Structure 1
Amino acid sequence: MPLATTHRAGLVDQVIEQLRTAVRQGEWPVGERIPTEPELGEQLGVGRNTVREAVRALAHTGLLEVRQGDGTYVRATSEVSGAIRRLAGSELREVLQVRRTLEVEGARLAATERTEDDVAELRALLARRASERDEGRWEHFARTDAEFHRAVVRAGHNGLLTELYLGLTEVVTASVAATSTITPGAEHVPEIGHEGLVDAVAEGDPDRAVAEARGFLDGLLARVESAPNGTD
């Protein structure tokens, strides 16, 4: 039955895309249980088996996690991030090395491609993270800092690089949180400012933007490597 098979595969793909979109848009946050198969089937107008195949496919990529007898939970916001989260003991050093690779190029592109709106967004995020830092709201600070770095990459207007970096949302946020508590004997270490990076982007100076981005990430790596446990 080739026609039926093709039609069924198309339905599964459509459900996969709708579930993926719901996760990425935050309809179901990371850690939240999604509706049951019968509920999803009713909402999407497809059979239960179609939903099951779609969920199974997304669980295989790491986006969802099926817990027998409990339900299906959101594990990550993208397949890329899900794959990273599945790596056993993914070390903080490795995360920072990948961040450096992407963010340095992102900073260079941002300095040549940014718009006035991009710069305004970066300055607004800097002000917000400074306020959260001063108030000691460290969880919010970590999320805003990660959002700032995504905004820098977006300002380069390279769709593929932005998509790749978006997949690192969870691990970037986790790395910010980890590197803010890594100095022995101190609850939080002095955070590394990004005003110089924003100024370089605003002034259209790619060399300085690269130096700024590489400089603070090298600083984070040095901080991690000098910590007692060597990594996280």
Structure 2
Amino acid sequence: MPLGPLRPSPLVEQAAAHLRDQITGGHWPVGSKLPGETTLAKELGVGRSTVREAIRALAGAGLVATRQGAGVFVIAAQVREDWPAKLRRASVADVYEIRMMIEVRAAELAAERRTEDDMAALDAALARRDEAAGDSDEALIDADIALHTAVVAAARNPILADLFAEFVPVLREGLLELAAMIDISRAEDDHGRAAHHALVEAIRDRDPVAVGRTIAEEMDRTRTYLQGP
């Protein structure tokens, strides 16, 4: 399959697309070495810097890797799917299971590490959640997520906080869909108020055992609703 010259529009994107097509189409199989920059630049009708940037883009997509002193080699035949895309494609029940694993431990850490500032943030988030219980399902869900975000923040681990943030959009969408299918006021007579107050108090008391038990029970109820009968 000939490469052919490129049109004078975003050249790096075009070069990367042409090279990607060569890889995914099998012209350069996994393990093969790409032609040198000079050869590719000549075939594509662009400068070596454009080829270099295109190869960098392919490396970012997980298709190629540079071996020092040896050249650029194909390491995958398909573009690597990024984490946000995987989350969007996953079922909300599966995402919720992973969230449970992360958040239970995060809550335990919060009980061990929380500061007075963390408690102020948790108390404020809990009050907002109480207020939202009499409002729309969307307001309650947003307030609930904000409280759980404050719990994770109190764990004082930025990687945990960033990981939890990745889950939030998918979780919010799934919980809104769940709210549209069930009567939340019947499923949770107090909208989960008692469980969330118990969680915050256990964090205040620095009791990781009680925290882990409380949040696991509360989240397991929601997972049951998500999984259905």
TM-score, structure 1 as length reference? 0.57
The corresponding residue for 1:94 is: 94
Tell me, what secondary structure is at the counterpart of 2:133? helix
CA positional deviation for 1:140: 2.2
Tell me the distance in 2 between the aligned counterparts of 1:218 and 1:187.
Answer: 15
Going from structure 1 to structure 2, the CA distance change for 1:130 and 1:110 (only over 3 Å counts) comes to: same
Closer, same or farther: CA 176–122 of 1 in aligned 2, 3 Å? farther
Q: Which runs of 5+ in 1 are unaligned?
A: 1-11, 13-48, 62-78, 228-232
Cα shift at 1:181: 4.1
Match of 1:171 in 2: 170
Distance 1:197 1:178, change over 3 A: farther
On the 8 A contact 2:92/2:171 being kept in 1, the answer is no
Instruction: Name 2:199's counterpart in structure 1.
Output: 197
Match of 2:47 in 1: none
How many correspondences in the alignment? 151
Are 1:157 and 2:159 an aligned pair? no
Q: Work out which of the two has the higher radius of gyration on C-alpha atoms and give 1 or 2.
A: 2
Q: Which residue of 2 aligns with 1:135?
A: 135
TM-aligned CA deviation for residue 182 of structure 1: 4.2
State the superposition RMSD in angstroms: 2.7
What is the DSSP-based 3-state SS (H/G/I as helix, E as strand, rest coil) of the residue aligned with 1:157? coil
Alignment CA distance shift 1:81-1:126 (3 Å): farther
Runs of 4+ deviating beyond 6 Å: none
**Distance in 2 separating the partners of 1:200 and 1:111:** 7
Q: Matched residues, percent identical?
A: 26
Q: How much does 1:82 deviate?
A: 4.0
**Is contact 2:128–2:143 with CA below 8 Å preserved after alignment?**
yes
CA contact (8 A) 1:129 1:144 kept: yes
1:128 and 1:171 map into 2 onto residues whose CA distance is 22
Q: List gaps (5 residues or longer) in structure 2.
A: 1-12, 14-49, 63-81
Determine the structure 2 residue equivalent to 1:116. 116
Q: TM-score, normalized by length of structure 2?
A: 0.58
